[in-house]
């Protein structure tokens, strides 16, 4: 059966420079490539394509529909500490959930929400 080998999230951002700086300085992404109007970033297996869309309605206006990713991580507690230390806006604090995940969520400058989760071992 054919399988999906990876994923890339494509996000419209109002200010490409500010969003790129946030992902790189606050969330630890690296820039892989850029062309006019686009930044290609990655951290581990997560890849992002940020597209400069100054006229787009920011995700902060969408509220409940502003989720874009649930990222499975190793050492959620360590990543949470790093994220807090970097001054990222926390949407949900680190907590063990009844569905077997230790997770937390952040909000980006454009209002996108990202959840980071680590599977709890019974």
The whole-number average pLDDT for the span 75-80 is 94
Listed as own residue / partner, the contacts of 58-63 with beta carbons closer than 8 Å and 24 or more positions apart are: 58/14, 58/110, 58/111, 59/108, 59/110, 59/111, 59/112, 59/113, 60/107, 60/110, 60/111, 61/111, 62/111
Res. 2 pLDDT band, cuts 50 70 90: low
Distant-in-sequence, close-in-space partners of 89: CB < 8 Å, separation ≥ 6: 106, 107
Q: Do 41 and 84 contact (CB within 8 A), yes or no?
A: no
Residues 8-55+66-119: name the CATH superfamily: 2,3-Dihydroxybiphenyl 1,2-Dioxygenase, domain 1 (3.10.180.10)
The per-residue pLDDT for range 98-120, each reduced to its tens digit, is 999 999 999 998 888 899 999 99
Q: Where are the beta strands (DSSP E) in 1-122?
A: 8-13, 30-35, 38-43, 46-52, 67-72, 89-96, 101-107, 113-119
Percent of the chain surpassing pLDDT 70: 93
Res. 4 pLDDT band, cuts 50 70 90: low
Nearest to 35 by CA among 20, 46, 14: 20
**pTM to 2 decimal places:** 0.84
Domain ranges of the chain: 8-55+66-119
Q: For the residues of 55-72, what is the DSSP string, one character each?
A: TSPPGGGTGGG-EEEEEE
The per-residue pLDDT for range 23-71, each reduced to its tens digit, is 999 999 999 999 999 999 999 999 999 999 999 887 777 766 677 888 9
- Per-residue pLDDT at 66: 72
């Amino acid at each position: 059966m054919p399988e999906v080998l990876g994923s890339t999230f494509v996000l419209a951002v109002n200010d490409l420079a500010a969003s790129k700086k946030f992902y790189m300085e606050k969330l630890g992404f690296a820039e892989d490539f850029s062309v006019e109007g686009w930044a290609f970033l990655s951290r581990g297996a997560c890849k992002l394509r940020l597209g400069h869309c100054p006229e787009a309605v920011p995700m902060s206006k969408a509220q409940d529909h502003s989720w874009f990713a649930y990222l499975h991580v190793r050492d959620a507690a360590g990543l949470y500490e790093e994220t807090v230390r970097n001054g990222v806006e926390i949407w949900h604090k680190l907590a063990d959930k009844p569905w077997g995940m230790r997770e937390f969520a952040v909000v980006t400058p454009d209002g996108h929400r990202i959840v980071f989760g680590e599977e709890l071992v019974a």
